[in-house]
Each structure stands twice: as structure tokens, then as C-alpha cells.
Amino acid sequence: MDAIYIVANWKSSKTTFEARQWLQEFQMSTDKEIVVCPSFTLLPIMKKTIQELKLPIKLGAQDISPFGEGAYTGEINGKQIKEFADYVIIGHSERRSHFQEDDAILEKKVQMAKSYNLEPIFCVQDGKTIIPQGVAIAAYEPIFAIGSGNPDTPQNANDVAKKIKDQTNITVLYGGSVTSVNVHQFTNESSISGVLVGGTSLDVKEFSQIIHHA
């Protein structure tokens, strides 16, 4: 059976102190693929702490520059990210809406991630979103379900995931108001291979319960 992915998207949250505390309280062994995606500023200390505590957690970034090294003020490039992380979230609806990221820029970001051996977790808002070449993991995240406490139905999420898989045969996750109570309804569906978790991943106890019940 394929791995079950549990991906935490911390968005713009947590200080280094809070991130370390979260890791110190994360006490579980699991055979699921756990990926935590914090702000860039937290990646170095989290990598160090994960190694020290030997935690079964991989790191991901929440964004990547569409450019390589060079004169791009404010950008974090793939080579810099690869020092700390294995994954990168690309195409989240918050990046599309607040930062005007379009299909062309997202394709460049995917290419950049691949060229530095980072695995893109590409967010799609519906079954029609264009998925760039090279993407192996997509996350179906309908906008109405994000941060709303109103998840999609497992049945509909599975239908969308199946549609994506029928076209591309990639791994599909579900994201949007996932909790420890509803997670299994999603991971139980045949075309859904895991979840992308926002708000409820900030609390280490709730996140551990999500992993446990997935």
C-alpha cells in the first residue's frame, strides 16, 4: 500500500520558541509520512531539533522562488530551501489570491523545486486546476473548506481526487478543515492518500491525534 501523507501547513504562525516547544511535545512513532511546513525562519532550528530528538518528521517550505540564486531581493531559492527541507507547497489558494500567483509562475516554481530535488505538494482548488508537469503529489483544497470548519464531503473529495488520478496518476491528498474527528473519513476513501492540515496542525496534541486516526 502507498504511504499515507499527513502534511502540516503552519502558514504564518509560530516563533522559534513555539516551534521548538511543539517538536518537544511531539511524541509518537509512526509509519506515516509526516511533513511539517513552517515559515522559512523556523526551518534551521526545526531541522536541528528534529535531528536531536530523532523525530519521524520531514520538513517542507510553504513557497519557493521562481528564480535561482541571484539578485532577487526577498526571495528564498530552491538551493537554500534544500539545505533544510525535502518538500515545498506550491499553488496554495492563499498564494494565488493574496500574491497574484498564476499558472505560469506556479509552473516555474514547480520546475525550480524539481531542479533542486524538492518534492512539490501542488494545491488544486478543483478538478479543473492545471497541474504542471513533474508534480507527483497534489492536494485538493476547495476554497470554501479552508479555515472554515466546513470540510468537503469525503465522497465529493474522493470524486475530485479520482478525476485527477484518472488524468495524471499522481498521489492526491485532501485539505480543508481536517480534524482528528473527520480525518479517517478522508483517508478511508480509495483515491485519497492523506491530508494537508492547516489550523488544527498548530496544536501538537490535536495533530498527533490526526496522525493516530488517519
Q: Residue from 43, 178, 192, 211 that binds ligand PGA (CB under 6 A)?
A: 178
Active site residue 141: yes
- The x, y and z cell numbers of residue 149, run together, are 470548519
Residues in binding contact with ligand PGA, number by CB under 6 A = 12
Residue of 33, 101, 141, 189 with catalytic role = 141
The residue at minimum Cβ distance from ligand PGA is: 198
Q: Select from 20-28, 45-53, 152-160, 192-200 the region that touches ligand PGA (CB under 6 A).
A: 192-200
Under 8 Å between Cβ of 212 and 24: no
Identify residues 141-160 at the interface with ligand PGA (CB under 6 A).
141, 146-147
Contact call for residue 194 and ligand PGA (CB under 6 A): no
How many Cα atoms within 13 Å fall on the side-chain side of residue 71? 0
Q: Which residues pair with 175 in a beta bridge?
A: 196
- Could you give the dihedral angle defined by the CA atoms of residues 208, 30, 28 and 148, in that order, rounded to the nearest 10 degrees? -10
Q: How far apart are CA 77 and CA 89, in angstroms?
A: 14
Contact call for residue 8 and ligand PGA (CB under 6 A): no
Q: Which residues pair with 138 in a beta bridge?
A: 122, 172
Q: Residue from 4, 50, 196, 210 that binds ligand PGA (CB under 6 A)?
A: 196
Active site residue 184: no
Q: How far apart are CA 120 and CA 70, in angstroms?
A: 22
Q: List the one residue out of 174, 176, 154 whose CA is nearest residue 164.
A: 174
State which residue, 60 or 176, has the beta carbon closest to ligand PGA. Answer: 176
- Considering the complex, what minimum distance in angstroms separates the CB of residue 52 from ligand PGA? 28
Helix axes 43-53, 16-25, angle to 10 degrees: 20
State which residue, 100 or 133, has the beta carbon closest to ligand PGA. Answer: 100
Catalytic residue numbers read: 92, 141
Binding site for ligand PGA (CB under 6 A): 9, 141, 146-147, 175-178, 196-199
